[in-house]
Amino acid sequence: MKVVPVRWIPFIILAYLLTLLQTTVGGVLAWRSASLGPIGPDLLAIVVVYVALHASSGIDAMLAGWILGLCMDLTTGGGAGGATVVGPMPIAYALGAASIYRVREAFFRDRPLPQAFLAFLLVALSHIFWVSVQAMRVGGLGGGAYGEMVLQTLLVALYTAVLTPLGCFALGRMRHWFLTPGARRSRRSR
Amino acid sequence: MAPSRKTVLVILMGASIASIAVGTRAAGWLRGITAPAIAPLGDGGMWLTVRFKAQSHGRQLRDLSPEEVRALHDEVEYWRRRTNYWRSRSEEYARHLRSMRVFEKLYGGSFGPIGDLPCELIPARVVGMDSLPYGRTRMVTPGRTRGVREGARVTTFELLTNRSKAIQQRLWTINATSLVGRVIEAGAFTARLQLVIDRGFAMRGRLRRRLDPRKPRKILVSLRDAAVLQPLTDANNRPVDVNDVRGDGKEGLIVSDVPAGEQIMVGDELVTRNDDALMPMEVRVGEVVEVLENPKNPEFVTLRVRPYAQLDALREVYIVWPLSR
């Protein structure tokens, strides 16, 4: 598979549609744990993983991650003890995308297991970063509640990881919409 | 010359850090101007989700045991006697009402109108949820253009019925209100509703004890200089005001520091307080489902409350705006 530049306008439309899915029908995919609260997949993280695995440059991957993180923050109003701030998730996704871009040569990127593993790491680390920043910035979250939320992030990461191969397969079928065919060919994708 | 993608990325990352530093005010403003992009198309998706959730969370029915049937029968008898009593009182009040109407016809024009509900109810619809599952907020329309402001309380209206079959149309119905949350951000066309079960939700409340002949209880009543234990009756069943009611972030509310002497039990009701400036009336919130003793301070208990509203399948809500503001 080729590594390719991102087509930004179709990508932003894709981000918008996925955000719409996440904020409405995403509720159907969530299940409720009596001790930890709702556990639902992070659909946008799947796109971050896919783009980071296939973008032509680290800057492109980071920009895509930033846009998806912004979508996430703009549509999340509550969480760590009060109204949340905008900003942590764009930073987390951009840095996560850059990290995946740097290590992607070590993985067979079209195999389900590496995709799921990278998605688990991305969601777990970026969500823990998000929860921590919100808890510090907004306040009102005790130590016990913070621990519960960290546990919740790990379950969300696991759920997302399970769905990631399916999501990457679907994104692969429509990649020509948001990724321009490029010339450079990756070693580990053949 | 157009800036390079690297420059754009640096600017965007800097803007993110600045946004975190500015805090929730900037976040509310940003969400307010971008939420209308989600709201129109979100309506259809939320309809699907609410339908699905309402189906999957439907209450399961089970057969009653003979003891439960007997207890239910006793309870029905009790309430039948109470109903007869209140029916006779109602007839008495109806006679008073007729005479007051005659008075109103004669002198009604001399006085100004009196509103029975000191609030305006702004109908709103849930059009989106949080992207992340850690908070329990919803996006609702309308927003500031219809007078919605931060801090306003939100209720939902439910139709109560104990019939297993569909009620025929055109019958009179009884409805009840229950609190579902409050508005924490309000944009031009949308507002963000914080559900009562969100970790950040806090309110003052009032507990109303339900008199149940099967579960008699004794409460401490102050008589002059001494406090004595007396059976709970209609006469001494005063509401218990509580100051610390918070969402637990999962599926209920926690009421802390409730005096154990008030003998709150499972099945009692949490309502709002009519001395709240933003909600000057009593509206049902939920039912006590667990009473937890405090090992450090046995004089107080903690209550777990389950909200009456089915918050996963929330769609039509009313935003309460007090007319006095």
- pLDDT for A161 beyond 90: yes
A24/B128 touch (CB, cutoff 8 Å), yes or no? yes
Please say whether the beta carbons of A149 and B134 come within 8 A. Answer: yes
Q: What per-residue confidence (pLDDT) applies to A43?
A: 92
**Rounded Cα–Cα distance for residues A161 and A9 (Å):** 27
Q: What per-residue confidence (pLDDT) applies to A100?
A: 94
**Rounded Cα–Cα distance for residues B35 and B45 (Å):** 15
**Rounded Cα–Cα distance for residues B317 and B309 (Å):** 10
Q: What per-residue confidence (pLDDT) applies to B167?
A: 33
Instruction: Dump pLDDT digits (tens) for A81-117.
Output: 667 888 899 999 999 999 999 998 888 888 899 999 9
Name residue A59's amino acid.
I
Which of B20, B139, B200 faces A87 most closely, judged by CB atoms?
B20
Q: Which of A123, A138, A27, A135 is nearest to B49 (CA)?
A: A27
DSSP-based three-state secondary structure for B188:
coil
Q: What per-residue confidence (pLDDT) applies to B1?
A: 64
Domain ranges of chain B: 8-57+122-325, 66-110
- pLDDT for A120 beyond 70: yes
Gap from A73 CA to chain B (nearest CA, Å): 8
Please say whether the beta carbons of B253 and B197 come within 8 A. Answer: yes
Please say whether the beta carbons of B232 and B219 come within 8 A. Answer: yes
Q: Does B52 touch chain A (CB under 8 A)?
A: yes
Please say whether the beta carbons of A68 and B14 come within 8 A. Answer: no
Q: Does B25 touch chain A (CB under 8 A)?
A: no
Question: A28-32, A144-148, A172-176: which has the highest mean pLDDT?
Answer: A172-176
Pairing assessment for the beta strands B240-247 and B253-259 based on DSSP bridges: antiparallel
- From first to last of its 325 residues, what are the pLDDT tens digits of chain B? 677 888 999 999 999 999 888 888 888 888 888 887 877 777 778 888 877 877 776 554 466 788 888 888 888 889 999 999 999 889 888 888 888 887 766 655 554 443 456 667 777 778 777 777 777 677 766 666 666 667 677 665 443 333 344 433 333 333 346 888 888 777 777 778 888 888 888 888 899 888 877 778 888 777 777 777 778 877 778 888 888 898 888 788 999 888 888 888 888 889 888 787 777 777 888 899 999 888 888 888 999 999 888 877 777 777 777 776 5
Which of A76, A85, A91 faces B131 most closely, judged by CB atoms?
A76
Q: Which of A87, A76, A95 is nearest to B21 (CA)?
A: A87
B139/A23 touch (CB, cutoff 8 Å), yes or no? yes
If contacts are CB pairs under 8 Å, which of residues 207-226 in chain B contact chain A? none
Instruction: Dump pLDDT digits (tens) for B206-237.
Output: 998 888 777 788 887 777 777 777 788 777 78
Q: Does A9 touch chain B (CB under 8 A)?
A: no
Please say whether the beta carbons of B130 and B169 come within 8 A. Answer: no
Please say whether the beta carbons of B119 and A14 come within 8 A. Answer: no
Please say whether the beta carbons of B312 and B292 come within 8 A. Answer: no
Q: Does A28 touch chain B (CB under 8 A)?
A: yes
Which of A26, A83, A140 faces B28 most closely, judged by CB atoms?
A83
CA A1 distance to own-chain centroid? 21
Please say whether the beta carbons of B192 and A76 come within 8 A. Answer: no
Q: What per-residue confidence (pLDDT) applies to B114?
A: 39
Name residue B159's amino acid.
L
Instruction: Dump pLDDT digits (tens) for A9-43.
Output: 999 999 999 998 888 888 788 887 777 788 889 99
In B, minimum Cα distance to A150 occurs at B134
Ramachandran quadrant class, B257 (left: phi over 0; alpha: psi -120 to 50; beta: rest): left
Domain ranges of chain A: 8-30+38-178
Q: Does A73 touch chain B (CB under 8 A)?
A: yes
In A, minimum Cα distance to B40 occurs at A20
Instruction: Dump pLDDT digits (tens) for B21-32.
Output: 888 888 888 888
> Which chain A residues are within 8 Å of B131, Cβ to Cβ?
19, 22-23, 26, 42, 44, 71-72, 75-76
Alpha helix positions (H), chain B: 5-22, 24-56, 66-107
Instruction: Dump pLDDT digits (tens) for B226-283.
Output: 777 778 877 778 888 888 898 888 788 999 888 888 888 888 889 888 787 777 777 8
DSSP-based three-state secondary structure for A108:
coil
The three-state (H, E, C) secondary structure of B239-292, written as one string? CEEEEEEEECCCCCEEEEEEEHHHCCCCCCEEEECCCECCECCCCEEEEEEEEE
B128/A23 touch (CB, cutoff 8 Å), yes or no? yes
Q: What per-residue confidence (pLDDT) applies to B112?
A: 44
A9 Cβ neighbours under 8 A, 6+ residues apart: none
Rounded (5°) CA angle B203-B207-B209: 165
**Rounded Cα–Cα distance for residues A38 and A53 (Å):** 29
The strand pairing partners of B221, in sequence order, are B228
Please say whether the beta carbons of B32 and B186 come within 8 A. Answer: yes
> Which chain B residues are within 8 Å of A138, Cβ to Cβ?
24, 200
- Provide the Cα torsion A28, A31, A37, A41; round to 10°: -70
Mutate to test the interface with A, among B22, B43, B134 (most CBs of A within 10 A): B134
Element of type H or E holding A50:
helix A43-54
Q: What per-residue confidence (pLDDT) applies to B198?
A: 84
B13/A75 touch (CB, cutoff 8 Å), yes or no? no
B175 Cβ neighbours under 8 A, 6+ residues apart: B157, B158, B159, B160
**Rounded Cα–Cα distance for residues B260 and A183 (Å):** 74
DSSP-based three-state secondary structure for B115:
coil
A77/B250 touch (CB, cutoff 8 Å), yes or no? no
Q: Each residue of B174-183: b (16+ CB within 10 Å) or e?
A: eeebbbbbbb
How many CB atoms within 10 Å of residue B299? 9
